Structure 1
Amino acid sequence: MKRAAPAWWTSPRPLWIIVALFAWLLATAWMRPLMAPDEGRYGGVALAMLRSGDWLVPRLDGLPFFHKPPLFYWIGAAAMSVTGPVEWAARLPSVLGGAVAAAALFLFLRRWSTARLAVLSTVVLATTPFFFLGAQFANLDMLVAGCISATVLLAAGAALAREREEPWRALLAGAWLFAAAGLLAKGLIGLVLPAMVIVIWCAATRRLASLRLALWLPGWAVLLAVAGPWFVAMQLRYPEFFDYFVVTQHFRRFASSGFNNEHGFWFYLPVLAGLTLPWFAWVFVPRGSNEGTSDDAARPRLPDIDRLMWIWLAVIVVFFSLPRSKLVGYVLPALPPLAYLIAQRVLASRSLEALLPKVRAMTLAAATVCIGCVVAVMVYSSPPGTRLRLPAGQAVAPGEQVLMLDGYHYEIPFYWDLREPVLVADDWKAAAEDTRDNWRKEIFDASRFDPARAARTLVDRTELADVLCVPHATWVVGSNTAHLANPWLHHAQLVAVNDGLAAWRFKGSATGDPHCLDTAPFPAAVPAPAPHSGANGNG
């Protein structure tokens, strides 16, 4: 008698599933322009790294930018070295982070849980709108989420394998490697959060002997060899690096108020509930009597896996709920364990076999929701400047310069494919006292690491004539009403206008006349408009 083919959930092929995950996340990464400020900032820094040829120092407008480590920029710059400045290359680090998180979850559960639970958990994760859109957004949150997920699952897998006297050293070395990648992706959380999860899990499951794996010297060698050189190089080159990167960007940001996006302790509960629909609705479905039974349920350690996932979820949510400053993307590392717990609830529901067609329908519905979210983002009216591009056939020629008035627009260097830093005109004396987390503070902080370059690129408003009355053209970017406060713009060529932002081409002065900005007064002149704040979502 011919044996029936195994069901789709009992014979997953890891390579094809991982390839499908990556293709699913990458398929729509090109569909919309970069959003300001975050995507423009991180994509622009990656492009600047490529253009400068300096792959060690991340730079914002040519100035050392140490808000975050360089892994995101390395990946983005490497992709753009092949493709040029295109959106999907700028988002590739996030796509890779999402693919790593989902693949690690699948492979771990396939080995230590059941094939059915491994596939369904991965489907839930990959089709959750929060996860899918996080992988479509060019910032550091999904990349570090992938590193954290891989570190936790490889370390847990190493502990389980060691107990069963199976090969475990390669798994543990992989955990240390991804911990190093997490350090290079977003700093200390890439190491601290996985360590907290594993330590608490080992204590809760009485695996205290497994904690000795934290002292495994080859692992520390991997960590130091991969992550150490960049941090050492930056400290040697910039003596203030440690204080700024570690003390300010980690501990002061965590413990202090005054940064943007302050929310209450409860903030991430509705975020997780709302952004994981429709899958989150399964939390309210009654459990059945078939929990823990499946075609291969004989594999042990399901209670320990449950504890791992609950501890992982709790550590991430509680840790990021403590500081006052909260961004939605911070909690992305909590999605893999949440996907597991939801999938487990699906499989534990009453009349499982009758529910399987509904599971497939919900998978299709979740995918539809994801595509709908992407379409909604595409038509969303982004902050000014997101789509300001030069008309076809026009470009900044070699020897010409770009000046931004009263605001730095992160996406302009990316979309204009600029090869040199731009000039930024502002009241930089007042900026020294600005404590708000915005574009001005970012650039001013960066200027402290390279004062000589900052003196050439940061222009005080009173010095505009010195940089504009030169024998070559200057492309000026500012508010579309900037000509009212700067009458000399009436003598410039208006090149592009979009959503409150405009670009002009000012010819300058062939003779270097320092009075080239002098014009007859215009009766319509009004006070300068409020500067574009570039409301910072810095993560």
Structure 2
Amino acid sequence: MAVFLRSPAALYLLAAIFAAASLLVLDVRTLIPPDEGRYAEMAREMFISGDWVTTRLNGIKYFEKPPLHAWMSAAAFSLFGLGEWQARLWNGLCGIGGVLMVAHTGRRVFGQRAGLYAALVLGSMLFWAAGSQFNSLDLPVAAIMSLALCALLIAQRDDATPAQRRIWMLVCWAAMALSVLAKGLIGVVLPAGVLAIYIVASGDRAILRRLHPISGFTLFMAIALPWFVLVAARNPEQPHFFFIHEHWNRFFLKTHHREGPWYYFLVLMLPASLPWLPLLPKALTTARKRVAGQFQAAQLLLVWTVFILAFFSYSSSKLPGYMLPVFPAMALLAGAYLERAPRSLAVLASVLLAVIGVVGLACLPFIPGLDTMLLWIAFVAALLAGLLAWLAESRGLRTGMVAALAVGGWLLTQLAMASHEPFGRNKAGLQAALAIRAELRAETPVYSVGTYEQSMTFYMGHTVIPVAYEDELSFGLVQEPWRGIASLDEFHARWRAAAARGEPQYAIMRSDLYFAARRLGLPMRERASAANIVVVSAP
């Protein structure tokens, strides 16, 4: 296999197979709330309205995040129509692009085989493989930040020509600008922090002269600034909410109720980096070594990994996806280390994947609500891949071992995610949404009582009027209070009046509020139900 993969044609074929497989699995699951439904609906509304400046959720101003993800998904809807795989397409392309960029960077910085190994590691890491198929902001921002990292590594190589250095540094600056449009100020704060620590740790102060700061910063501002100027001109309230509430408060305060212990991400790293976990500690510690008088690529990757994990560990807001930017750096270090890693660690990684398969099969009877056949295939694939990797390593076939682990890890992740579909369909309220979708017109009121079901608005193709509910819609409702109903009493009065006139109306009601409304004699007919909600219409 090692001889086969030395051929450029073979590498292109491998990349094409990976890209095709990654795109094909985009359409196997329902959009799961809250994240997948939220970002699909924001893009749908942008596509329908044609307003690409003021971002909205459920027709209400929503400024928690910048617009890049909505732009890309709305563009996918424009090209390919509305649908689940279209909503996930941007994530899928970013996942593929991140793997290919790591392959190219690894080849240029550490050697051809290291680049191949790094790509196989990243493409099969559980969190990266899963994030590439899940419609949220975290994977795209991680991929774009990894583009900035990879461009910096290539630009700063000791053998880079002045033209190569300038071009790749401009790519780095552009990627940081896109990171800001993808997630906010972390797109520049994190790379700047990494660079500062690297300079102190390595003593490589000469790098400051090689950053092309004037042309780079000009390009950065030309990409990142226009939207912020436009959105603030149309919505003067946006800058304070975005920069203070969504950046300062989210990092330093616990107002978002997403706090966790300092070791939150360290614990998550155990499943997130499977099946490569046994190799990573040694790959990271090896990167501490310095070579005097040279650009310290491995040390920069180590600083990137440690600083980003420390940054989000200190933050008062913690979510699993925040750690995704570290995986491309870890994959590059693992790819470089795998060429010389001792057989014992390679065997341990193989055994770990096989054990996961065995334990998963043993626990299968106790896992409710999922597609057990897909889970059975997933765990069998993990077991067989682990055994195949062990066999390849025992025969001295390191590339075969890496390839077997990568295929096994990728299949385990994708099949496990697909097995979630029975639960996901119910949680998304898919059938409940489809039960009334054909009856809805643009002017038909649909109330959402005590809840906001993030995926149902997308599947209905219709926004709702929130009743006695604010949560993440609270800021937008303060700006546009007429888009919601503050109290249940007001909703009951409006519903009774419309029912008396015989006007069509619908409501998605939290289950307890539905039964309370029945006791009050509210005229309504149950149409469908899903997890903790009931859909009703006027009788």
| Fold shared, TM-score > 0.5 on shorter chain | yes
AA partner of residue 155 (structure 1): L
List gaps (5 residues or longer) in structure 1. Answer: 293-299, 429-439, 508-539
* Deviation string, structure 1 residues 353-381 (Cα, Å, up to 9, x no partner): 71423333322321231223223332445
1:55 and 1:314, CA in 2 relative to 1: closer, same or farther beyond 3 A?
same
Structure 1 CA distance, aligned partners of 2:459 and 2:261? Answer: 37
Q: Is the partner of 1:8 in helix, strand or coil?
A: helix
1:367 is matched with 410
**Greater Cα offset, 301-310 or 106-115:** 301-310
Structure 2 CA distance, aligned partners of 1:71 and 1:381? Answer: 26
Instruction: Return the offset for 1:72.
Output: 0.3
2:119 is matched with 122
1:71 and 1:164, CA in 2 relative to 1: closer, same or farther beyond 3 A?
same
AA partner of residue 510 (structure 2): S
User: Is 1:272 equivalent to 2:304 in the alignment?
Assistant: no
Instruction: Return the offset for 1:211.
Output: 1.3
1:424 is matched with 466
Match of 2:330 among 310, 320, 338: 338
Aligned length: 478
Whether the 8 Å CA contact 1:124–1:363 is kept in 2: the answer is: yes
**Greater Cα offset, 373-382 or 45-54:** 373-382
* Deviation string, structure 1 residues 465-524 (Cα, Å, up to 9, x no partner): 2355234211111134544211377642322222332211215xxxxxxxxxxxxxxxxx
User: Is 1:496 equivalent to 2:519 in the alignment?
Assistant: no
Instruction: Return the offset for 1:184.
Output: 0.4
Q: Is the partner of 1:233 in helix, strand or coil?
A: helix
Whether the 8 Å CA contact 2:31–2:428 is kept in 1: the answer is: no
Q: How does 1:263-302 map to 2 (within 5 A)?
A: 263-283=260-280
Q: Is the partner of 1:404 in helix, strand or coil?
A: strand
Q: How does 1:340-359 map to 2 (within 5 A)?
A: 340-350=332-342, 354-356=396-398, 357-359=400-402
Q: How does 1:145-160 map to 2 (within 5 A)?
A: 145-160=142-157
AA partner of residue 189 (structure 1): I
Q: Aligned-residue CA RMSD in angstroms?
A: 3.0
Instruction: Return the offset for 1:313.
Output: 0.8
Q: Is the partner of 2:446 in helix, strand or coil?
A: strand
Q: How does 1:472-487 map to 2 (within 5 A)?
A: 472-487=503-518
Structure 2 CA distance, aligned partners of 1:286 and 1:176? Answer: 28
Instruction: Return the offset for 1:114.
Output: 0.7
Match of 2:494 among 463, 466, 470: 466
Q: Is the partner of 1:80 in helix, strand or coil?
A: helix
AA partner of residue 403 (structure 2): R
Instruction: Return the offset for 1:408.
Output: 1.1
Structure 1 CA distance, aligned partners of 2:188 and 2:88? Answer: 23
Whether the 8 Å CA contact 1:493–1:505 is kept in 2: the answer is: yes
Instruction: Return the offset for 1:228.
Output: 0.6
AA partner of residue 326 (structure 1): K
Whether the 8 Å CA contact 1:385–1:501 is kept in 2: the answer is: no
Instruction: Return the offset for 1:54.
Output: 0.6
1:385 and 1:482, CA in 2 relative to 1: closer, same or farther beyond 3 A?
farther
Q: How does 1:53-452 map to 2 (within 5 A)?
A: 53-160=50-157, 164-165=161-162, 167-214=164-211, 216-283=213-280, 304-350=296-342, 354-356=396-398, 357-380=400-423, 384-387=427-430, 388-391=432-435, 394-418=438-462, 421-426=463-468, 440-449=470-479, 451=480
Structure 2 CA distance, aligned partners of 1:489 and 1:97? Answer: 52
AA partner of residue 479 (structure 1): R
2:20 is matched with 23
Whether the 8 Å CA contact 2:301–2:329 is kept in 1: the answer is: yes
* Deviation string, structure 1 residues 312-343 (Cα, Å, up to 9, x no partner): 11111111110132100000001111122333
AA partner of residue 488 (structure 2): R
Whether the 8 Å CA contact 1:35–1:383 is kept in 2: the answer is: no
The percent of aligned pairs where both chains have the same amino acid is: 26
1:92 and 1:359, CA in 2 relative to 1: closer, same or farther beyond 3 A?
same
Whether the 8 Å CA contact 2:448–2:507 is kept in 1: the answer is: yes
1:533 is matched with none
Q: Is the partner of 2:156 in helix, strand or coil?
A: helix
Q: Is the partner of 1:424 in helix, strand or coil?
A: strand
Q: Is the partner of 1:497 in helix, strand or coil?
A: strand
1:301 and 1:414, CA in 2 relative to 1: closer, same or farther beyond 3 A?
farther
AA partner of residue 141 (structure 1): D
AA partner of residue 124 (structure 1): V
1:9 and 1:30, CA in 2 relative to 1: closer, same or farther beyond 3 A?
same
AA partner of residue 108 (structure 1): T
Instruction: Return the offset for 1:219.
Output: 1.4
Instruction: Return the offset for 1:284.
Output: 7.0
1:324 and 1:240, CA in 2 relative to 1: closer, same or farther beyond 3 A?
same
Instruction: Return the offset for 1:156.
Output: 2.6
* Deviation string, structure 1 residues 136-164 (Cα, Å, up to 9, x no partner): 11111001101110011112322226865
1:191 and 1:495, CA in 2 relative to 1: closer, same or farther beyond 3 A?
same
